[in-house]
Amino acid sequence: MEAALYDPEHGYYMRRVAIGARGDYLTSAHLHPIFGELLAEKVLALFRELEAEAPSDEWTLLEWGAGTGRLAADLLTAFARRSEARPIRYLICEISPRLHEEQRRLLRERSNVAWVSERELGPECLTGIVLSNELLDAFPVHRVVRERGQWRELYVTLRGEAFAWTLGELTRPEIARYFEQIGIELEEGQIADLAMDIVPWLERVASILKAGYVVTIDYGDTADRLYTRTRPMGTLRCFSGRQLVSDPLARVGEQDITASVDFTLVMTAGQRLGLEVVEFKSQRALLMELGLLERASAWLQKAAASAEDVAARLALKHFLLSSDLGEQFKVLIQRKRASETLPLCGSPPVVRPPKMA
Task: Kindly tell me if the per-residue pLDDT of 346 is higher than 90.
Answer: no
| CB environment 266-303: b (16+ within 10 A), e (fewer) | bbbbbbbbbbebebbbbbbbbbbebebeebbeebeeee
What letter does residue 238 receive in the DSSP assignment? E
pLDDT in tens, 164-193: 899 999 999 999 999 999 999 999 999 999
φ, ψ of residue 107 to 5 degrees: the values are -105, 20
Predicted pLDDT of residue 191: 96
Assign domain 18-137+194-227+260-336 one CATH number from 3.40.50.12710, 3.10.20.740, 3.40.50.920, 3.40.50.2300: 3.40.50.12710
Q: What is the pLDDT of residue 343?
A: 44
- What pTM value is reported for the model? 0.88
Domain ranges of the chain: 18-137+194-227+260-336
pLDDT band at 341 (very low <50, low <70, confident <90, very high): very low
Looking at per-residue confidence, does 311 or 27 come out higher? Answer: 27
Are the C-beta atoms of residues 193 and 143 closer than 8 Å to each other? yes
Sheet-wide strand order for 150-159: 162-168, 150-159, 142-147, 191-194
CB 106 within 8 A of CB 73: yes
255 and 240 Cβ atoms separated by less than 8 Å: yes
Residues in the chain: 357
Q: Region 280-285: what's the mean pLDDT?
A: 94
CA distance 12 to 27: 17
Backbone angles phi, psi at 95, to 5 degrees: -100, -15
